[in-house]
Amino acid sequence: MGYKYQRLDKDNAVVLLVDHQAGLSSLVRDIDPDKFKNNTLALAALAKYFNLPTILTTSFEDGPNGPLWTEIKDMHPDAPYIARPGQVNAWDNEDFVNAVKATGKKQIIIAGIVTEVCVEFPTLSALEEGFEVFVVSDASGTFNQITREAAWNRMSQAGANMMSWFNTACELQRDWRNDVEGLGGLFSKYIPDYNNLMNSYFTLKGKN
């Protein structure tokens, strides 16, 4: 049997932001910390732009892991927020799994800290239950490239789709004609060089 393209569908996707916590952020060393935060906030923003159900979760936030980033909370004030009391794998928390399943979506877009634990473990668990999983690699961070590559390999071999926040947005959009200025504005906010493209577009349209 040939390859089957698992294409993201904005009507069938849920976003899981796992353990983007103040303390855990200090562990991220496989990507520039500022770029990592920018990428994560871009993912949170695209979830809002596409009106995707979004679930937030933290691990042992009363301990050294610390609280969820306030920027994410502020962007999704009404999202289900699961503060796990101790479960390392978010999928071991019944409230979290119930929140995911309550959306009725079969595609999971996931990112978190750290990649080989907080992203990998729920990804493997969700794949085992029949979900299609899309791991946003540049909004997930860990100690170093060795641990990152090991996690990417294990997840991709299990059937996960390895993504970036940018190609996630593009795959969800499908067609530029759906909303040029809306998506272009989102890109421009998180990719400064994208302003050049939008300025050219506005000049062409006589909007500058």
* Active centre residues (catalytic): 118
Distance CA 90, CA 59 (A): 8
Of 15, 3, 5, 9, residue with least CA distance to 174: 9
Distance CA 61, CA 194 (A): 36
HSE (side-chain half, CA atoms, 13 Å) at 17: 31
Q: Residues 45, 47, 51, CA angle at the centre, nearest 5°?
A: 115
Token look-up 């000049």 returns: 203
- Spatial contact of 56 and 80, defined as CB atoms under 8 Å apart: yes
Distance CA 208, CA 206 (A): 6
